[in-house]
A and B are shown apart, each in its own frame.
Chain A
């Protein structure tokens, strides 16, 4: 068999190009599949709106969440919590969240400090929960496929599949994940998936007397929560991480981290 230099180079080139083509190129997607791959399928994308101006720090949301989702009540873990921020005249910010705010904020002491009322320039409460990010860092790092994003945008954990390695707990920039003391797997806020999938609101939203927490479908332009997010001045936590959080805050202060 004879082979000229020209032929060899030609064939080598063709071979290199062929080897670099992914096989998925030849897979044909239906329009529905293509749509799903681009924008996420379905007509629902759950989003959350927190109005920090309305929160009084009663902590009923934390209590309701712990009971509803069977998070051990006295263990120092919680799916949602409320933080207190007290900014004083000297420019310092005092932050605490006793028991995650489960029993409310009944003392003027912030941590161990007693702050005289005349020193306070501003003080407020900030409820926190899983941001159900569009680009969840916690899901990217899971080595076994035990955590995932559903088509309606909620990040869930498969308790039968999680190996408890804790990578996701480290990866979450918001610190919302923790190790479940009973199931021995990673645990996080599910937006009360068992409730929202039945047409109810989350336990924390229902428990909030002041309407500081609201949940809605971001894909429905007539949803009151979506309308509020579109028309009000809202912010998200740690935007710079690129996780695209879907929990929006009204009245967020730069002291909140």
Chain B
């Protein structure tokens, strides 16, 4: 065949080869079908380990009790025992190493999440002790009068 016909063909072949070469180096080795089929399971297997490697921040009440026994014991006796320490004190992260202390949030908003009265007869919310935040000592922190660990004390 004549040269001027073949030349574009070689260019085309080289272009396709280049695409395959780039693909070979750019696509991770663990990329492929790992799940049940191509539609739902076509991915990079290492992505699962990436998600697993994220550090846990909310460590749970059991961890708090290892050092703060008195506080947890007091908390366990009252109706607030269902609330996790970290809900109000924030995530423990790597406490006591980092951060060394957790901030104590005295904000009224924390209490009002459950105790701001809402007139919802069919909701569990109506069964909780409630106040009207605009009339019940507005602006004052609840913890001045109520013990958040055990409000019955």
Is the Cβ of A104 less than 8 Å from the Cβ of B113?
A: yes
Interface status of B121 (Cβ within 8 A of chain A) = yes
Interface status of A100 (Cβ within 8 A of chain B) = no
Shortest beta-carbon distance, B38 to chain A, in Å? Answer: 9
Q: CB within 8 A of A148: which of B47, B54, B82, B116?
A: B47
Interface status of B70 (Cβ within 8 A of chain A) = no
Is the Cβ of B47 less than 8 Å from the Cβ of A56?
A: no
Interface status of A97 (Cβ within 8 A of chain B) = no
Residues B48-82 near A (CB distance < 8 A): 48, 50-58, 60, 82
Is the Cβ of A198 less than 8 Å from the Cβ of B56?
A: yes
Residues A45-71 near B (CB distance < 8 A): 53-60, 63-64, 67-69
Is the Cβ of A148 less than 8 Å from the Cβ of B42?
A: yes
> In the complex, which residues of chain B have a beta carbon less than 8 angstroms from the beta carbon of A145?
31, 42-44
Is the Cβ of B125 less than 8 Å from the Cβ of A206?
A: no
Shortest beta-carbon distance, B34 to chain A, in Å? Answer: 8
**Closest chain A residue to B118, Cβ basis:** A108
In the assembly, what is the distance between CA of A40 and CA of B57, in Å?
A: 31
Interface status of A195 (Cβ within 8 A of chain B) = yes
Q: Which of B16-24, B86-94, B96-104 contacts A (4 or more CB under 8 A)?
A: B86-94
Residues A143-160 near B (CB distance < 8 A): 145-151, 156-160
Interface status of B109 (Cβ within 8 A of chain A) = yes
In the assembly, what is the distance between CA of A209 and CA of B85, in Å?
A: 11
In the assembly, what is the distance between CA of A57 and CA of B114, in Å?
A: 7
Interface status of B36 (Cβ within 8 A of chain A) = yes
Shortest beta-carbon distance, B40 to chain A, in Å? Answer: 4
Asked, given contacts A37-B36, A207-B87, whether A86 binds B124 with beta carbons under 8 Å apart, the answer is: no
Is the Cβ of B120 less than 8 Å from the Cβ of A124?
A: yes
Shortest beta-carbon distance, B111 to chain A, in Å? Answer: 10
In the assembly, what is the distance between CA of A136 and CA of B35, in Å?
A: 13
In the assembly, what is the distance between CA of A198 and CA of B58, in Å?
A: 13
Is the Cβ of A207 less than 8 Å from the Cβ of B58?
A: yes
Q: CB within 8 A of B116: which of A37, A38, A107, A193?
A: A107
Is the Cβ of A193 less than 8 Å from the Cβ of B35?
A: no
Interface status of B41 (Cβ within 8 A of chain A) = yes
Is the Cβ of B51 less than 8 Å from the Cβ of A190?
A: yes
Q: CB within 8 A of A58: which of B51, B57, B113, B133?
A: B113
CB 8 Å contact bits of A1-43 with B (1 = contact, 0 = none)? 0000000000000000000000000000000000011101100
9 residue pairs bridging A and B, Cβ less than 8 Å apart: A40-B35, A64-B86, A106-B109, A124-B120, A124-B122, A148-B43, A149-B35, A156-B48, A195-B56
- Extra A-B contacts (12), CB below 8 Å, given A40-B35, A194-B52, A195-B56: A57-B113, A57-B123, A58-B114, A60-B87, A69-B54, A103-B113, A107-B116, A123-B119, A140-B39, A149-B40, A161-B43, A193-B48
